[in-house]
Every structure is written in structure tokens, then in C-alpha cells.
A = this chain, B = another copy of it.
Amino acid sequence: MTDGLGERELQALIERIVDEVRPEAANGKVADYIPALAKVDARKLGMAITTVDGLRLSAGDAHEPFSLQSITKVFTLTLALELTGAELWKRVGREPSGTPFNSLVQLEYERGIPRNPLINAGALVVTDAIVDAVKDRAAAQAIVEFLRVCADNPAIEIDEDVAQSEKAWGSRNAALANLIKAFGNIRSPVDQVLDAYFHQCAIAMSCADLSRAVLFLAGGGRDPLTGRKFISAQRTRRINAIMLTCGHYDASGDFAFRVGLPAKSGVGGGIVAVVPGRMGLAVWSPALSPQGNSLAGTLALEKFAAASGCSIFS
């Protein structure tokens, strides 16, 4: 498997890690910007692996669904690229956002072109591209269906409570969408784009499903278990590169420094990661760092990369 670790060792490794990182959650804070997230139990902790040769391992609360939040952005980016092609890169950049002062500032300076597709502003443009491309049906529905295919699980659903909570507390995202619209980089009505955006954030999945869903990014764009081709090898490398440089907001550099894997976090406390050529990974622990990334989740991935030697930088 990874540098000679077999199934038993891997299973033991993730169980040990789950034990070791549990106390870290005490240093963080569950997201409270929407009521539906604030009530999640801070002690939840899960970890799961799906390898390219079909091994599926898990530890802790790895089978309990949680709110994906920004993690969905990796999948909507993939879907939008397939639907609309490289033209998308004229509407959104691929540079780290770099500033803690949130993307409204940068949007203003860069005239409505978001820095990358993994920050909220960029994901709004990506969502608009999907809204535009699937005209006949709801964009949120297209996105959840894509996730079902990726995870090979038709039971994946949107948590409508969370979606409504997002909408009720979504003034900042509404500000972003309106500003992008003012610069002409959102084409559909703002309300429609926001609705699709809030619903995609509210998709719920378990670590087990998530590590499975991301497997095509470890397989050069092809799901190694079903053989289904999602995207080209080149596009796969590029999505992995964007996850590495932009996947953790203003702590992306630190995550690369500590963990060394392409990954994307969400304020629901999940992180999905890719070991190219080897496996998909997912962790979940709701207590967040000030930058909005799962504390215990990051530590779990750091320990896993160190113990398994799977960093892309060695």
C-alpha cells in the first residue's frame, strides 16, 4: 500500500491517530455562524481511507454524515470544468488568496475575478457556470447527483435545514455574489446562484463516503474501482495542485508545510485529502482553528502523512 503498509497496519495506524488527536479538539471552536452547524457535537471524530485497489478502512465516527460545506467546492469545480471547459479559467484565477482580510477586498481590487475556485467568491462563479450549463434543471440537484456518482452511493442528500440556515445567515455570501454581479462575472440572477450555492454547502456525507468520492483524484481522473473516467489526467493534476495551494484558505501554506497533501477543508469540520496514485482520505472533527480548518483533522492528516511517508514532497 503506502510504502509497504499493509491493511492491518493501516487500520491500526488510523485507529491510533484517532485516539491521539482527540484532545486537540478542545483547542478549537465549532462553527457558529449558522445555527444549524453550531449544534453539532464537538466530540465527533472520524477518519476513513479508500485506496486505489479498493481497500476501505475507517475509525471513529467515520460513518456518520456531516455537513460538507466548502469541501463540495472540489466537486463543483470538477463538474463545472467538465460542463464548461477551460473557459472557466477566464472567470476565476488559481492563485492562493493570501490575505486574512477576506475575499471582498481582493474581489474589489481584481474587479470581480475571484482568486481561485476554492474560496467562496470563486465557488459562486463556479456555481453560476453550472447554473448556466444545466439550465433545464436545478444546479443544486446536478451537484448532489454528481457527488452520488463520485461516492458510488445514491443515498447522499442535501440537509435542507442546513441549506435554509445558510440562506438566513448568508448576508456575506450575498454581498460577494452581488459584487461579482456588479463586475459582470455572474450571469444568472443572483438569487438563483445563491440558492444553488447554499444547497451545495448543505450536502451531508460521511468520512467513508467522502474518501471514496475523491478517489478519482488519486486515480488520474478515473475511478479505479468502477473504471469510470471523470476527467483527464492533466485536469486531475491541476485540481490537486489547486487543492494544495488553495485548499485551506489563509492557512494553505501551513497545511502544505505540515501535511504535504492536496486537501480541502470545510467549516463543518471535515477535510478531504488525496494521495496521488494511492488513496482518498477523509477526516471529521468539528472544532476549528481561527482560520476555519478542523484542528484535530489537520493533526490527524499530519500524523498520517508522517507515519505513512505519503507526503508529495518526499
Contacts and interface: CB of A to CB of B under 8 A. Distances in A.
A79 to B, nearest CB: 18
A116 interface: yes
B171 A181 contact: yes
Interface residues of A, number: 57
A226 interface: no
Contacts of A256: 241-242, 244-245
What is the total number of copies of this protein in its complex?
4
A99 B98 contact: yes
Interface in A249-268: 250-254, 256-258, 260, 262
A104 B108 contact: yes
Interface in A65-117: 93-102, 104-106, 108-109, 115-116
A246 B179 CA distance: 24
A200 interface: no
A40 to B, nearest CB: 22
Interface of A: 93-102, 104-106, 108-109, 115-116, 171-172, 174-179, 181-182, 190, 220, 233-234, 236-238, 240-242, 244-246, 250-254, 256-258, 260, 262, 276-277, 306, 311-314
